[in-house]
Amino acid sequence: MTSFGITNGPAPARLTVGIVSAGRVGTAVGAALERVGHVVGAVSAVSDRSLHRARTRLPDSEILPVPDVAARSELLVLAVPDTELPGLVRGLAETRAVSPRTIVVHTSGANGVDVLAPLAEQGVVPLAIHPAMTFSGQDEDTARLSSCCFGVTAADEIGYAVAQSLVLEIGGEPVRVAEDKRALYHAALAHGSNHLVTLVVDAVAALREALAGDELLGQQLVDGDPGGVAERVLAPLLSAALDNALRRGPAALTGPVARGDVAAVAKHLEVLAKVDPALAEGYRALSLRTAQQSGARKDMIEMLEGTGRQ
């Protein structure tokens, strides 16, 4: 195995890369590695969608069974769902499909390098390199990798040096995550990104209900299609709120909970329940957490905890 250069050192060696499998993450990572000179020699793909991604995003790569992908690779990227990763690793180890000294990277956020132990025992270099990014399956995914952070975990300092080199090469920022903190790291990212989508979808649904039927002359009708009036109303507000939260922390909080306006929050719960009771309960739960963070008065806490439910 050729050696890697580290920051401010010689350029990392060109590697033959194998991707398992051709999902959104795998094809984005593969394309990013090809952009900086590595060669994705082979990729595994089974479903029609993954076959299409492999052919369009990694057109020079052979589509092969997993053992053949592994056997050909100096750098093997396991880009499978978290639940499939342990079984894949066990299968590769049992068949001895991976050559010793191969760099084996998985992209799971929840796992560190312990999940790669069966392969590490056979002499591979185990790395966990998780891009802190959401993926759409489109070309912009690869561009986003060049500006995002990657949670990296390795078995030793040599592994960390290799992981750092790979991430820096494609323009990302490596962030060290201890093995025993991977689950917490993943929970934080899921809470921030997945629940943000849930929150925005609920806010859009409520705003559509508030605006529908009162459009100005010539204005786009308020309907259920994405990218409409409701989204345009919310976009600058949500963008500013996110920017303020990341820049200022809890000091960015505004609104009726922060002001201690119990009557306004109770009215919000009432009208939201008429749109969708589940939406109202989501608002209640987030308002309670907001109240706890902001040190709200006892009457606000009690109302949101349920003693003051209408």
Are 4 and 105 in contact, with CB atoms under 8 Å apart? no
3-state secondary structure of 249: helix
Domain ranges of the chain: 16-177, 185-305
pLDDT tens series, the chain, 310 aa:
444 433 444 445 799 999 999 999 999 999 999 999 999 999 999 999 999 999 999 999 999 999 999 999 999 999 999 999 999 999 999 999 999 999 999 999 999 999 999 999 999 999 999 999 999 878 888 889 988 999 999 999 999 999 999 999 999 999 999 999 999 999 999 999 999 999 999 999 999 999 988 776 667 888 888 889 999 999 999 999 999 999 999 999 999 999 999 999 999 999 999 999 999 999 999 999 999 999 999 999 999 998 544 4
- Prediction pTM value: 0.88
CA 65 vs. chain centroid, Å, equals: 27
- Residues 206 and 112: their CA atoms lie apart, in Å, by 40
Strands 149-154 and 125-131: antiparallel
The strands making up 149-154's β-sheet, listed across from edge to edge, are 62-63, 39-44, 16-20, 75-78, 103-106, 125-131, 149-154, 173-176
Place of tokens 């505004």: 254
- How confident is the model at residue 217, as a pLDDT? 63
Q: Which CATH class is domain 16-177?
A: alpha beta
